[in-house]
Chain A
Amino acid sequence: TQLLEQSPQFLSIQEGENLTVYCNSSSVFSSLQWYRQEPGEGPVLLVTVVTGGEVKKLKRLTFQFGDARKDSSLHITAAQPGDTGLYLCAGSSRSGAGSYQLTFGKGTKLSVIP
């Protein structure tokens, strides 16, 4: 069974601070996706990383895929209250049945205090 460990589980910071969230696994993934989920809503896709070592930027968010495609990080610069939410990473890999499945981490609950 593949596992994705996210850390930290909870993070509370002041507006304007920087933060990094980590997603680690002992398994290799063909791609990795980051989602943000608000209470009572479904996950919203932020980015997909595919190539080992890949870095993608989305405004103040920087996503990195590890060289071995086993881990990833999300860095937020100058956090704002609107960044508050649950951040989920999900790795894509082929299942025993032959289809590509997503394995989710439990998420990092971020709270940005004004």
Chain B
Amino acid sequence: NAGVMQNPRHLVRRRGQEARLRCSPMKGHSHVYWYRQLPEEGLKFMVYLQKENIIDESGMPKERFSAEFPKEGPSILRIQQVVRGDSAAYFCASSLGQDSSYNEQFFGPGTRLTVL
């Protein structure tokens, strides 16, 4: 299965701990996006990355959140000093490119973060 992979699928953290979410894009895809889905809310864009570059982080909270997509290995979404409000499903998507007409993004199964 060459789909988008995310791990862990479920993550439980206590307030103040760090959460690390990993995403491996589809084979051949070099564009990665992170979204957050709060209960009863739609998916909200957080950040868009290419290898070794953050292209657009306009949806990312200014503090505690960071993302990277290194030359080797998966993309990482890192949340420091988690708070209860960070509890949500975090989805990663990947695309082949950023064509002006097509922006077909394929999603992973998500990581469900619960902050106690």
Chain A contacts to B: CB under 8 angstroms:
4, 30-31, 33, 35, 40-45, 48, 50, 88, 90, 92, 95-107
Does any Cβ of A come within 8 Å of B103's Cβ?
A: yes
Residue in B45, B55, B101 whose beta carbon sits within 8 Å of that of A103 in the complex? B45
The complex places the Cα of A4 from the Cα of B31 at a distance, in Å, of: 24
One digit per residue, 1 when the CB lies within 8 angstroms of any chain A CB and 0 when it does not, for chain B 23-64 equals 000000000010100001111110010000001111100000
| A45→B98 contact, CB < 8 A | no
* B residues contacting the other copy or chain, number (CB 8 A): 30
Chain A residues near B43 (CB, 8 Å)? 43, 88, 90, 102, 104
The 6 closest A-B pairs by CB, nearest first: A42-B107, A97-B56, A92-B103, A99-B56, A104-B42, A100-B103
In the complex, are the beta carbons of B102 and A97 less than 8 A apart? no
Which residues from B are CB-within-8-Å of A40?
109-110, 112
Given the interface contacts A88-B43, A106-B41, does A45 sit within 8 Å of B104 by beta carbon?
Answer: yes
Beyond A40-B110, A101-B59, A102-B33: 19 further Cβ-contacts under 8 Å? A4-B42, A30-B100, A30-B103, A41-B109, A43-B107, A45-B105, A45-B106, A48-B104, A92-B103, A95-B58, A97-B55, A97-B57, A97-B58, A99-B56, A100-B98, A101-B48, A101-B56, A101-B103, A106-B41
The complex places the Cα of A42 from the Cα of B105 at a distance, in Å, of: 12
| Residue from the set B40, B56, B103, B107 with the largest chain A CB neighbour count within 10 Å | B103
